[in-house]
Structure 1
């Protein structure tokens, strides 16, 4: 959420807080690159609250902006805490469930000293062959497999979404990069970066993230023009975003 603030000299980074109802909400104020005089508030699945603002923004104005969103922050924290209650660390052993393109597949770890180590999607299962069973090795092989599949699928979906993004004159450069707090990003020069674990989500979620970043090529901030473009190319994008955000803990190998 972008909220206008009155700029004034203050610290570039600090921890702040306020009380909402019976809860003390703590958030971290960080410097916002390429700031436009607004505060960007984010609540992450691990229940961190971050307010990005211009370096010279006044702390009191930032606190006021965040408090205005107190109810929304409180509800986000409540929902993410419920998810955390039912989330257990992955052990990367046979019988676990892992996602790929929105579907769940059982993990089958095969110990085969003479076979080539790798991952195959066979008969509704993700089969991982290893010379010796190791959590770290299974996780590493799965990570490499997801990245390879992401590179191929994201390229195809980008081409498909470009047919709708008529404002984009040239095919943007696409980069695959594991990120802790984002599904995707768009640089000022139009390069799109996507999180490889997005390939675990449904195709419409992948399309949403790609379209979101393509809209940033036309409008780098979350302005009215940006949302007009999003509504034009994906009229029900809000529901898709909610669906993706609600699955964050299931799709990522570790919490944000």
Structure 2
């Protein structure tokens, strides 16, 4: 199983005035009859509802919050107007472990090309200024830091996974739709761009995969394990989901 960047879902929609608003219905794992509605910064509307809730009942609950959903979407759309693709030039803001760092590109023809985290800035030295080269060096740096960070986070949280007799193998691989996954033979794969997220978000993904080594499906046992090893994981997951569009912005 895996930790998707965007959850598998059932798509539904409703009209608010002249606007058709689409939302994703996902299963709410907790034994609670309430319908939870979340509007994410990337303008995804996620509705968590019990698996046995009727679609009409869910739709009615969403329509009652129609004005609030519309206003949230309007505000986030305004914010997205100011979000532009990365140009990989000095002054841009880039994330690492949940914090923002200013990018400083240094053209030094006789220096070694590379990336340094120095005095609150990500300094990239290149022989000749090129957005593609800066992007390549940054991506390589993120992958190196991801390998180090994820290995350490795995070691730190492994003590909570009492069902494992040994440390599972870890692989780093860029993925477009998943933060992490695990194979039937017990290998964990993590997305290097997850290293841009806060440590607790990284721990959530690692623990999610460790729980899948005990329970491959998203069953009651799986969610019970998640609650035991990381109380309050739902809020951490919500924060990671909300950062996805920023973390993956190129």
TM-score range, shorter chain: 0.7 to 0.9
Report 1:1-256 matches (<5 A). 19=14, 24=20, 71=62, 78=73, 81=77, 84-254=80-250
Tell me the SS of whatever aligns to 1:108. strand
TM-score (norm 1): 0.71
In structure 2, stretches of 5+ residues that fail to align are 1-10, 24-38, 46-53
Q: Cα deviation per residue 1:80-120 (whole Å; 9 max; x = unaligned)?
A: 75663342111110011111111111100000010011001
Shift of 1:185: 1.1
- Return structure 1 stretches of 4+ with deviation > 3 angstroms: 16-27, 43-49, 64-72, 74-86
Q: Distance in 2 between matches of 1:220 and 1:82?
A: 40
Q: Cα deviation per residue 1:130-155 (whole Å; 9 max; x = unaligned)?
A: 01101100000000000000001100
TM-score (norm 2): 0.73
Instruction: Say if 1:83 and 1:169 are closer, same or farther in 2 by CA, change over 3 A.
Output: farther
Shift of 1:213: 0.7
Shift of 1:253: 3.6
Instruction: Please tell me whether the aligned partners of residues 47 and 81 of structure 1 are also in contact (alpha carbons under 8 angstroms).
Output: yes
Shift of 1:171: 1.2
Instruction: Please tell me whether the aligned partners of residues 100 and 199 of structure 1 are also in contact (alpha carbons under 8 angstroms).
Output: yes
Tell me the SS of whatever aligns to 2:115. strand
Instruction: Please tell me whether the aligned partners of residues 17 and 24 of structure 1 are also in contact (alpha carbons under 8 angstroms).
Output: no
Query: Relative contact order, CA 8 A, sep 6+: which one is greater?
Result: 2
Q: Distance in 2 between matches of 1:252 and 1:202?
A: 14
Note the aligned Cα RMSD (angstroms).
3.2
Q: How many residues align?
A: 213
